[in-house]
Amino acid sequence: MLYVDIMFYQQSRKIPKSVNANRDLLAYLIWKTGIMTNEKIGEFFDLSYSSISHMLNLCDQD
């Protein structure tokens, strides 16, 4: 099961590597549904559009 504390991601400046995978997976799942653009996903996680695009490219390669 994927445990995600959205407030943690939105309020934390730096995300520990131990929870990066959960954030990346959640962003990927949101992107795959098509309900948000990369820009909106970036706003949701307080990341740049470029960071989201890079993250999605890495997730999509697996």
Task: Give per-residue pLDDT as tens, 21-37.
Answer: 888 888 899 999 999 99
Number of C-beta neighbours around residue 29 at 10 A: 13
Task: Give per-residue pLDDT as tens, 5-21.
Answer: 777 777 777 777 777 88
pLDDT band at 62 (very low <50, low <70, confident <90, very high): low
d(CA 62, CA 43): 25
d(CA 14, CA 28): 19
Give the pTM: 0.74
Radius of gyration of the chain (CA): 11
d(CA 22, CA 7): 14
pLDDT band at 1 (very low <50, low <70, confident <90, very high): low
